[in-house]
């Protein structure tokens, strides 16, 4: 395998993305290390979601390279790209569960599509994944419209984990959850990172998540990554936006 | 053992170990090998073993949830009485994963489904209740609309004129071209068929009678109703349904508005105005098409066509058609709004109710047309 422990699992270089005459990201560089939880912050509208969507291939880029597992996504053949896609999971901000399928079918869907696995194993795995994200087996036969917001996030995470990916992208996983559920969710992500050896790319605004769950934090601003480092690096930074973000009224209680 | 690790394929070897057996797992126990893994595990489970069993996983190169679960499943299925196999050689990284899947309880996997006969009877019962529910829903909506109309009559300022005009543009003005086109073609076809068959009796000119009566009394309005149901009824259902899904209807209610008055009444009023207009235009277009075909294909001169038409039809034929139009509009509107209000959270539900809206409103329009036919025959109109 080309990717060793020290190589970044995702390597973004000189990435430029824009809509028509407006540049969202310009010459952006970012590394995500294997096995870490990277928290990604930035002002609303700064392009956090755009970067995530560009890395996972939902948005076109103007220039730059993105390497995932050492595969350059520009040059990758269709087949290579598919293989990479099977090794990551994505949790969308609003869950994006298939509303016409039950929870069980939602979790089984990627497995069913990619693998020839017996129905029995599919059922067992669906329940095991539900247990992993802290849900009871009774939930399995409900439809997404019958779930609460927190449960939707958990089921969506279970679906993102269905194929035992090596990377998961989480887009604001704790937004819309009460502080206790959000805390549980952070715990869950950390547990999964430990047990499954996951690499987690997490877009978040939740200062608690950043403090407790994330190994490193990357800050997006002025169309590039302003700073990457630990919480202490963030607190020590003199950049006005970082000062406001990490020393603001809402931050004080958390980071103090 | 070495080559297993190289090509990565998972294996499970049985070796005697003292009085018991050691099951040695090796290779990649991951989702990519899930089908093979399942076979291997099931074979081991079938063979069973006497005495103590140790599942040795020290040679496993990679383990994920699938592999961990299958090892756990094997452990459970090889348990005899209180003696369950021991899992040995688990590295610290994988121990927590195996612990995680050990928490999954047996018996949770499959939904318990009732017998097929019970299910069939249940389905019949549900459909009957649903039919009752549909009729009740229609009555409910009609009542709610009448109430809103009453309220608007007492407080005319609360009527939403702008919204009504907007909907009128959507369901009437923008529907004109397609209604004209389709009724024109139907008029042509009726005339052609009429001439073709009447010619055998030398009765070509009676095609004008047939066309006039058919188009003005029945076909014109019915065709337009079906088109309106497909075009505007479905749009109403989808609009109201997605507004419900996004809690817009609830938002209106909390602000003290009656959703029937704000959302439904303008739509129904627009439809009631639009239908007679479209039915009239449609009938004229069909007559025009019939006239052209009668001239070109049957050799009936336009002035002869008109003279014949004057004799064949009376004002009552025309009235019968147009009287029906607003009632059919009301029916389509009510069905569309009932279905829209019944939409639940999912995209599939929206699709199902939109389909139901069109199917039900066409059905009710045809039933209504039949009742009108009996009524008009009774009063000699």
The per-residue pLDDT for B237 is 95
Tokens of B362: 């066409």
The per-residue pLDDT for B112 is 62
Residues A219, A53: contact at Cβ < 8 Å? no
Whole-angstrom distance, CA of residue B287 vs CA of residue B309: 10
The per-residue pLDDT for A254 is 66
The per-residue pLDDT for A2 is 44
Domains for chain A: give ranges and CATH numbers.
Answer: 8-87+165-255 (3.40.50.300), 101-161 (no CATH)
Buried b (16+ CB within 10 A) or exposed e, B176-201: eeebbebbbebbbebbbebbeebeee
In terms of Cα–Cα distance, which of A45, A14, A49, A46 is closest to A28?
A14
Mean per-residue pLDDT for A24-37? 86
In terms of Cα–Cα distance, which of A151, A150, A160 is closest to A107?
A160
Contact A164 B30 (CB under 8 A): yes
The residue with greater pLDDT, B198 or B115, is B198
The per-residue pLDDT for A210 is 84
Contact B348 A164 (CB under 8 A): no
Report the CATH fold assignment for B2-102: Transcription Regulator spoIIAA (3.30.750)
Mean per-residue pLDDT for A133-152? 85
Tokens of A241: 């936006």
The per-residue pLDDT for A1 is 41
| Partner-chain residue, chosen from B34, B69, B110, that has the shortest CB–CB distance to A115 | B34
Tokens of B169: 């543009």
Tokens of A255: 């980071």
Q: Would the pLDDT of A215 be above 80?
A: yes
Whole-angstrom distance, CA of residue B326 vs CA of residue B2: 83
Q: Would the pLDDT of B5 be above 70?
A: no
Give pLDDT tens digits for B133-163.
889 999 999 999 999 999 999 988 888 899 9
**Given CA atoms A18, A22, A26, A32 in this order, what sign does their dihedral have?**
negative
Give pLDDT tens digits for B255-286.
878 889 889 999 999 999 999 999 999 999 99
Give pLDDT tens digits for B284-318.
999 999 999 999 998 889 999 999 999 999 999 99
The per-residue pLDDT for A45 is 78
The per-residue pLDDT for B108 is 64
What mean pLDDT, rounded, does chain A reach?
83
The residue with greater pLDDT, B145 or B31, is B145
Tokens of A233: 């690096």
The per-residue pLDDT for B379 is 92
B61 contact A CB<8A: no
Host H or E run for residue B264? none
Whole-angstrom distance, CA of residue A155 vs CA of residue A142: 11
Q: Would the pLDDT of A87 be above 60?
A: yes
Q: Which residues contact B330 (CB under 8 A, 6 or more apart)?
A: B268, B271, B272
Give pLDDT tens digits for B173-189.
999 999 999 999 999 99
A11-20, A143-152, B47-56: the lowest-pLDDT one:
B47-56
A197 neighbourhood in chain B, CB within 8 Å: 93
Domain ranges of chain B: 2-102, 158-378
Mean per-residue pLDDT for A16-31? 84
B349 contact A CB<8A: yes
Q: Where are the beta strands (DSSP E) in chain A?
A: 8-19, 22-33, 37-42, 63-68, 71-72, 88-91, 167-171, 199-203, 216-221, 224-229
| Partner-chain residue, chosen from A123, A127, A195, that has the shortest CB–CB distance to B100 | A195
Band (pLDDT 50/70/90 cuts) for residue B253 is: confident
Q: Would the pLDDT of B1 be above 50?
A: no
Contact B100 A118 (CB under 8 A): no
Mean per-residue pLDDT for A124-142? 85
Measured CA to CA in angstroms, residue B319 lies from B80, B271, B310 at distances of 86, 19, 15
Contact A196 B97 (CB under 8 A): yes
Q: Would the pLDDT of B351 be above 70?
A: yes
Instruction: Write a three-state SS string for A29-98.
Output: EEEEECCCEEEEEECCCCCHHHHHHHHCCCCCCCEEEEEECCEECCCCCHHHHHHHHCCEEEECCCCCCC
Q: Would the pLDDT of B2 be above 50?
A: no
| Partner-chain residue, chosen from B73, B97, B347, that has the shortest CB–CB distance to A100 | B347
| Partner-chain residue, chosen from B31, B64, B346, that has the shortest CB–CB distance to A144 | B346
Tokens of B61: 């190169």
A213-222, B131-140, B184-193, B354-363: the lowest-pLDDT one:
A213-222
Question: ipTM for the complex?
Answer: 0.74
Whole-angstrom distance, CA of residue B203 vs CA of residue B15: 98
DSSP string covering B144-200: HHHHHHHHHHHSGGGS-HHHHHHHHHHHTGGGHHHHHHHHHHHHHHHHHHHHHHHGG
The per-residue pLDDT for A255 is 60
Between helix B34-47 and helix B65-77 the angle, nearest 10°, is 10
The per-residue pLDDT for A6 is 62
The per-residue pLDDT for B368 is 95
CB-count burial class (<10 Å; 0-12, 13-18, 19+) for B286: buried
Residues A38, A200: contact at Cβ < 8 Å? yes
The per-residue pLDDT for A253 is 64
The per-residue pLDDT for B158 is 84
Mean per-residue pLDDT for B37-64? 79
- Dmax over CA atoms of chain B, in Å, equals 112
| Number of helical H runs and strand E runs in chain B | 16, 4
């Amino acid at each position: 395998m080309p990717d060793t422990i020290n190589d970044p699992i995702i390597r973004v270089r000189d990435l430029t993305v824009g809509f028509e005459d407006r540049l969202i990201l310009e010459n952006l560089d970012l590394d995500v290390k294997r096995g870490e939880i990277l928290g990604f912050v930035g002002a609303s509208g700064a392009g956090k979601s755009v970067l995530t969507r560009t890395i996972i291939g939902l948005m076109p880029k103007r220039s730059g390279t993105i390497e995932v597992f050492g595969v350059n996504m520009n040059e990758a053949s269709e087949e290579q790209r598919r293989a990479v896609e099977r090794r990551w999971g994505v949790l969308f901000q609003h869950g994006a569960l298939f509303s016409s399928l039950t929870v069980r079918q939602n979790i089984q869907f990627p497995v069913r599509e990619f693998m020839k696995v017996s129905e029995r194993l599919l059922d067992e795995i669906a329940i095991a994944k539900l247990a992993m994200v802290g849900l009871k087996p009774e939930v399995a036969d409900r439809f997404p419209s019958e779930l609460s917001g927190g449960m939707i996030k958990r089921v969506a995470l279970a679906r993102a984990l269905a194929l035992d990916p090596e990377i998961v992208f989480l887009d604001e996983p704790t937004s819309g959850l009460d502080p206790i559920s959000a805390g549980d969710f952070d715990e869950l992500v950390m547990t999964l990172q430990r047990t499954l050896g996951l690499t987690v790319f997490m877009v978040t605004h939740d200062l608690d998540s950043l403090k407790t769950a994330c190994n490193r934090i990357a800050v997006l601003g002025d169309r590039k990554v302003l700073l990457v480092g630990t919480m202490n690096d963030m607190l020590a930074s003199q950049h006005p936006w970082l000062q406001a973000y990490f020393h603001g009224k809402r931050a004080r209680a958390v980071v103090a | 053992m070495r080559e297993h690790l190289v090509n990565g394929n998972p294996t499970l070897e049985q070796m005697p170990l003292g009085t018991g057996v050691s099951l040695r797992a090796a290779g990649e126990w991951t989702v990519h090998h899930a089908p093979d893994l399942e076979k291997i595990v099931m074979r081991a489970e079938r063979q069973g073993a006497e005495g103590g069993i140790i599942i040795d996983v020290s040679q496993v190169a990679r383990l994920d949830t699938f592999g961990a679960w299958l090892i756990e499943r094997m452990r459970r299925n090889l348990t005899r009485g209180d003696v369950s196999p021991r899992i040995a050689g688990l590295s610290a990284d994988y121990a927590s994963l195996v612990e995680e899947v050990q928490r999954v309880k047996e018996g949770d996997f499959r939904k318990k489904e009732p017998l097929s006969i019970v299910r069939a009877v249940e389905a019949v019962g549900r459909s009957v209740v649903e039919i009752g529910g549909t009729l009740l829903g229609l009555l409910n909506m009609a009542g709610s609309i009448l109430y809103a109309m009453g309220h608007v009559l007492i407080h005319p300022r609360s009527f939403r004129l702008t919204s009504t005009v907007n909907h009128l543009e959507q369901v009437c003005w923008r529907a004109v071209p397609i209604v004209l086109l389709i009724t024109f073609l139907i008029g042509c076809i009726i005339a052609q068929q009429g001439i073709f068959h009447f010619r055998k009796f030398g009765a070509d000119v009676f095609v004008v009678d047939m066309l006039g009566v058919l188009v003005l009394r029945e076909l014109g309005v019915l065709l337009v109703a079906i088109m309106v149901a497909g075009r505007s009824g479905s749009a109403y259902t989808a609009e109201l349904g997605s507004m419900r899904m996004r809690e817009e209807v609830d938002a209106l209610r909390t602000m003290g508005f009656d959703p029937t008055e704000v959302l439904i009444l303008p739509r129904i009023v627009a439809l009631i105005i639009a239908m007679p207009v479209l039915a009239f235009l449609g009938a004229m277009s069909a007559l025009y098409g019939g006239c052209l075909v009668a001239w070109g294909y049957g050799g009936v001169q336009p002035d002869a066509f008109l003279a014949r038409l004057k004799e064949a039809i009376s004002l009552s034929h025309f009235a019968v058609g147009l009287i029906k139009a607003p009632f059919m509009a009301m029916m389509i509107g009510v069905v569309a709004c009932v279905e829209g209000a019944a939409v639940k959270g999912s995209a599939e539900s929206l699709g199902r109710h939109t389909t139901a809206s069109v199917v039900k409103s066409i059905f009710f329009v045809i039933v209504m047309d039949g009742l009108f036919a009996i009524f008009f025959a009774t009063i000699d109109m």
